[in-house]
């Protein structure tokens, strides 16, 4: 039995426990060694990219969410399009077809799509948003780590500054322009959460919007976000293909993060603050720490106007508590927006 036929068979099998069945079914085709014969000759990554339609990716992100949740949904949206538009080696991936996905959704079944583990911030743990995780994997798979890093950091930053669900995905859901029905077809409040973390964005959104985290509205929200993330990933990939990444989405962290990163970035100078790393929006968590730092340097222009101003003043030596001599050596060093920095 061909794997495809098996999946189709599954979709009509009434009440079949899909999660346990495919394992046996897929194993039927697998050779004794366990690996697919084709996969044995799979080329090294990256597998390449051809221009895709962002709207198509958005629709597939939505469909993918309802059949495999956020992470697998975003991964499938991009890689299934690449399989259709580019073909080999994406033909080696164990991905359901568009039609199988639509049928699965209609039967309210989930399918075992790669990257399923990323759901709910990795198996519900609440860390990185699954849509970002799945999209990031597809991006690096397609273009490799060097260009992938530039695209992925931009995707993450875009996510931090965007209010979700986006008006476009709300509109698609309300007007039934997605390939399948979701869980709720009314507009949902677009809320800016300034974080890439599942726990933060879900908790913030639910408490402000007034929906429980186990509600269909919250789930629908994540479906629309998966759609928006798949779309944005393709917009960035297309831009990268044309060498227009910086034009389409200039990489710019928040002012706060840029100023924190004057000292707190991946580096070797421990005493200067190089005991932290990351481009993640510092101000989304370190509110009290920011106040404390500012208190240590009580300047009239302190926090609230422009932290950069305070940092500038700190650098000329008025700062207490941080150590002006340490700070001074950092003057002129590129902090926040130096995307070549390791993080
Ligand atoms: C001019 C360099 C510099 C900048 C800019 C800076 N820090 Fe620090 N920070 C330090 C140093 C050095 C320490 C450790 C020594 C100390 O506690 O004074 C520190 C300590 C901390 C700590 C540990 C707790 C504490 O208060 O001791 C946190 C958290 C922190 N910084 C967060 C931030 C955040 C968030 C920003 C951006 C708003 C920021 N820092 C900006 C140099 C800096
Ligand atoms: C999602 C929340 C979150 C974000 C975003 C975040 N941090 Fe933190 N950070 C923490 C937590 C939690 C700790 C551990 C604090 C503790 O246990 O005292 C920490 C620790 C630190 C420390 C060491 C604190 C210490 O006690 O010495 C520094 C410095 C720091 N963060 C700086 C930053 C900077 C700079 C950014 C932005 C690039 C940032 N953080 C973004 C939550 C966050």
Q: 203-223: per-residue pLDDT in tens?
A: 999 999 999 999 999 999 999
> Residue 107: what pLDDT?
98
Looking at all shown ligands, the one closest to residue 277's CA atom is 2
- pLDDT > 70 in the chain, percent: 75
Q: Name the residue with higher pLDDT: 5 or 22.
A: 5
Indicate the SS3 state at residue 145.
helix
Q: Does ligand 2 have an atom closer than 6 angstroms to the CB of 322?
A: no
Q: What is the pLDDT of residue 9?
A: 47
Report the run of H or E that residue 163 belongs to, with start and end: strand 163-164
Residue 143 banded pLDDT, cuts 50, 70, 90: very high
Burial class (CB in 10 A: 0-12, 13-18, 19+), 317: exposed
For ligand 1, atom 23, name the residue with the nearest CA: 289
Atom 32 (ligand 2) nearest CA: 276
For residue 88, give Cα distances in angstroms to 34, 60, 83, 131, 251: 21, 20, 7, 25, 32
* Residue with CA at minimum distance from ligand 2 atom 21: 276
Packing angle, helices 130-143 and 54-85, rounded to 10: 40
pTM, rounded to two decimals: 0.84
Asked if omega into 46 is within 30° of 0 (cis), the reply is yes
| Residue range 156-207, pLDDT digits in tens | 999 999 999 999 999 999 999 999 999 999 999 999 999 999 999 999 999 9
Mutation to probe ligand 1, out of 260, 321, 326 (largest number of atoms < 8 A from CB): 260
Residue whose C-alpha is closest to residue 170's, from 241, 236, 119, 220: 220
What confidence score (pLDDT) does residue 340 get? 64
Contact between 60 and 81 under an 8 Å Cβ cutoff? The reply is yes
For 217-280, give the DSSP string: HHHHHHHHHHHHHHHHHHHHHHHHHTT-HHHHS-----HHHHHHTTTSSSSS-GGGTTT----S
Residue nearest to atom 20 of ligand 2 (CA): 276
Strands 191-192 vs 163-164: parallel, antiparallel or unpaired: antiparallel
Q: Which of 286, 307, 339 to mutate to test the pocket of ligand 2 (most atoms within 8 A of CB)?
A: 286
What atom in ligand 2 is closest to the CA of residue 261?
A: 35
Q: Whose CA is nearest to atom 28 of ligand 2?
A: 276
Q: Ligand 1 centre and the CA of 247: distance in Å?
A: 33
Residue 192: its H or E element? strand 191-192
**pLDDT tops 80 at residue 82:** yes
Contact 284 CB / ligand 2 (< 6 Å): yes
Cα(237) to ligand 1 centroid in Å equals 36
* C-beta 286 within 6 A of ligand 2: yes
Report the residue among 269, 273, 302, 319 best suited for mutation to probe ligand 1: largest number of ligand atoms under 8 A from its CB: 273
Q: Whose CA is nearest to atom 40 of ligand 2?
A: 282
Closest C-alpha residue for ligand 1 atom 9: 273
- Residue 177 to residues 56, 59, 110, 174, 181: CA-CA distances in angstroms? 11, 8, 21, 8, 9
Average pLDDT, the chain: 83
- Mean pLDDT of all residues in 87-113: 97
Cα–Cα dist 321/250, whole Å:
34
The answer, yes or no, to whether residue 312 has pLDDT greater than 70, is: no
Average pLDDT over residues 133-143: 98
The closest alpha carbon to 226, from 48, 56, 59, belongs to 59
Ligand 2 centroid distance, CA of 199 (Å): 16
**Residue labelled with tokens 């009239």:** 300
> Atom 30 (ligand 1): residue with closest C-alpha?
289
């Amino acid at each position: 039995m061909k794997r495809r036929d098996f999946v189709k068979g599954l979709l009509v099998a009434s009440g079949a426990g899909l999660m346990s069945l495919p394992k046996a079914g897929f194993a039927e085709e697998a050779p004794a060694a366990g690996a697919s014969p084709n996969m044995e000759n799979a080329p090294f990554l990256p597998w390449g990219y051809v221009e895709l339609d962002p709207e198509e990716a958005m629709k597939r992100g939505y469909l993918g969410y309802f059949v495999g949740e956020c992470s697998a949904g975003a991964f499938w949206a991009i890689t299934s399009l690449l399989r259709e538009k580019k073909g080999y080696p994406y033909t080696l991936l164990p991905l359901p077809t568009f039609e199988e996905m639509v049928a699965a959704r209609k039967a309210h079944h989930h399918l075992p799509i790669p990257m399923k583990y990323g759901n709910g911030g990795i198996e519900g743990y609440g860390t990185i948003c699954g849509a970002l995780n799945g999209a990031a994997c597809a991006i690096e798979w397609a273009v490799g780590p060097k260009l992938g890093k530039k695209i992925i950091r931009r995707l993450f930053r875009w996510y931090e500054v965007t209010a979700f669900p986006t008006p476009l995905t709300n509109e698609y859901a309300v007007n039934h322009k997605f390939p399948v029905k979701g869980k709720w077809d009314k507009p949902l409040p677009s809320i800016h959460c300034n974080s890439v973390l599942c726990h933060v964005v879900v908790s913030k959104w639910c408490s402000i919007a007034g929906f429980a985290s186990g509600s269909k509205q919250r789930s629908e929200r994540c479906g629309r976000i998966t759609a928006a993330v798949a779309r944005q990933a393709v917009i960035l990939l297309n831009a990268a293909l044309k060498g227009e990444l910086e034009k389409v989405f200039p990489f710019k962290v928040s002012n706060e993060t840029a100023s924190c990163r004057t000292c707190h970035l991946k580096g070797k100078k421990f005493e200067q603050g190089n005991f932290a790393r990351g481009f993640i929006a510092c101000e989304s968590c370190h509110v009290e720490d920011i106040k404390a730092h500012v208190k240590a340097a009580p300047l009239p222009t302190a926090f609230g106007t422009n932290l950069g101003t305070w940092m500038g003043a700190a650098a000329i030596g008025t700062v207490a508590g941080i150590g002006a001599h340490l700070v001074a050596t950092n003057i002129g060093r590129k902090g926040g927006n130096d995307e070549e920095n390791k993080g």
